[in-house]
């Protein structure tokens, strides 16, 4: 019998709040986390806006001395993991430690620490470089640190697939639990790439919004006037467990993960495949893995970056995967409020799907004003929608042609295969 996998805890640091509750309330209300960049002097940059995790003090979540040894992306992951574990009530002890995995990723890793090391070498020489630079810049660093913090001794790794990293990390954990190799996992991703290198490099790709004087209306996923993504930062972690073990310890079960699939476009290093066939295949395979039909999906949390290429390609992909049902399913991009948090966002959007199922509320696509003939589906514009959500799907697509799709379902309380 295939084991069932459930969500028992969530944790997040986002541009909308420093915990899940505040982030979700802001998301439901269409609040934007976008503002002028304060983390560095962006006065000579074409892009001067980002979605920062405002008022984040790592000392509120960990010992200040330890915080100094961690990159900002690792600090976010630490804070989110602490919240998720507290909500789940999962206790990791010697007897179960080897059955608890840690799958926490980052698309860019410690890019701020790498940038600081290069600047230090240039100004003061190599002997002045922070001795913790390597542990801080490693993309697997957050995963290792959370394992150390919690004592989890199962598989500890980072799945790196650009902006699909967080979703793939949860997908890997889901598969290992379902297959019986582990019983629980701390899974998700974090990102802190709002930096001179991160903003400057992404802008050179032509992927970013430069609406610096009107940032309250950007990004605009699926809108005809969309002009690019806005970079965000934060961490998103969930605790998932095998159902019978979760029930035996009296855990609060928030939702069930029932399907996952990953595909590759094999098309272009940064652009999505125009017809959307690769991402459509991931959606179809995820539904097959979940043993559901398109008509059973009540909500899609879209990748929806707000770039001209992505949103049109994703719309085409949904039409391929869902056929005539594509026009019936509500779709929203919560990146319209959080910004694009790169590898972390897929994990955050799993949390948002979990809460949409719990609360019967579909979050909106903010800033939607002008319909686009190439994006003609139901994007839940501007205002959240009350609707019972039994099944939710979330899409995450990354540079390199990585596609990851997860399917969640309302937990029905019944044991079964």
Question: Which residue numbers are catalytic?
Answer: 163, 303, 340
Strands (E), 164-209: 184-191
377 and 318 Cβ atoms separated by less than 8 Å: yes
Alpha-carbon Rg for the chain in angstroms:
20
Question: What's the rounded Cα separation, in Å, for the pair 263 and 123?
Answer: 44
DSSP state of 403: E
CA dist 410 → 44, 236, 295, 297, 389 (Å):
48, 20, 16, 11, 7
What span, in angstroms and rounded, lies between the C-alpha atoms of 160 and 173?
14
Closest CA to 292 of 316, 253, 261, 315: 261
Q: Which helix (H) or strand (E) holds 142?
A: helix 141-150
Residue with tokens 């940059």: 45
Q: What is the token pair recorded at 213?
A: 């004087």
How many Å from the N-terminal Cα to the C-terminal Cα in the chain?
5
Residue 239 main-chain phi, psi, to 5 deg: -105, 125
Q: How far is CA 397 from the centre of its chain?
A: 11
The token duo for 233 is: 């930062």
Closest C-alpha among 104, 10, 22, 34 to residue 335: 34
């Amino acid at each position: 019998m295939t084991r069932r996998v459930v969500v028992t805890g969530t944790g997040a640091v986002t541009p909308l709040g420093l915990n899940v509750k505040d982030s979700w309330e802001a998301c439901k209300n269409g609040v934007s986390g976008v503002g002028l960049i304060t983390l560095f002097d962006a006065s000579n940059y074409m892009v001067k806006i980002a979605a920062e995790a405002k008022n984040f003090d790592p000392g509120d979540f960990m010992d200040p001395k330890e915080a100094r040894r961690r990159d900002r992306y690792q600090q976010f992951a630490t804070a989110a993991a602490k919240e998720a574990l507290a909500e789940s009530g999962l206790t990791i002890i010697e007897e179960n430690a080897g059955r608890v995995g840690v799958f926490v990723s980052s698309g860019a890793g410690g890019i701020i620490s790498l940038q600081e090391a290069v600047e230090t070498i240039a100004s003061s020489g190599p002997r002045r470089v922070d001795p913790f630079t390597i542990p801080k810049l490693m993309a697997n660093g957050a995963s290792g640190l959370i394992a150390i913090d919690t004592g989890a001794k199962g598989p500890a790794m980072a799945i790196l697939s650009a902006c699909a990293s967080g979703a793939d990390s949860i997908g890997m954990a889901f598969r290992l639990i379902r297959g019986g190799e582990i019983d629980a996992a701390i899974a998700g991703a974090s990102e802190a790439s709002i930096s001179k290198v991160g903003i400057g490099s992404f802008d050179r790709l032509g992927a970013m919004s430069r609406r610096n004087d009107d940032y309250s209306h950007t990004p605009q996923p699926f809108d005809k006037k969309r002009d690019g993504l806005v970079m965000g930062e934060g961490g998103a972690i969930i605790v998932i467990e095998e159902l019978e073990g979760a029930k035996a310890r009296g855990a609060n079960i928030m939702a069930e993960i029932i399907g996952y699939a990953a595909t590759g476009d094999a098309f272009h290093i940064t652009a999505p495949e125009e017809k959307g066939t690769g991402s459509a295949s991931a959606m179809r395979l995820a539904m097959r893995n979940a043993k559901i039909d398109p008509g059973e999906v009540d909500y899609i949390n879209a990748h929806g970056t707000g770039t001209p290429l992505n949103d049109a390609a994703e719309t085409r992909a949904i039409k391929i995967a869902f056929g005539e049902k594509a026009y019936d399913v509500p779709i929203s991009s919560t990146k319209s409020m959080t910004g694009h948090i790169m590898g972390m966002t897929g994990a955050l959007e799993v949390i948002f799907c979990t809460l949409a199922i719990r609360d019967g509320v579909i979050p909106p696509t903010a800033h939607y004003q002008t319909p686009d003939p190439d994006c003609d589906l139901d994007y839940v514009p501007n205002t959240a929608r009350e609707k019972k959500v039994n099944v939710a799907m979330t899409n995450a697509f990354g540079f390199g042609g990585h596609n990851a799709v997860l399917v969640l379902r309302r937990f029905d309380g019944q044991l079964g295969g």
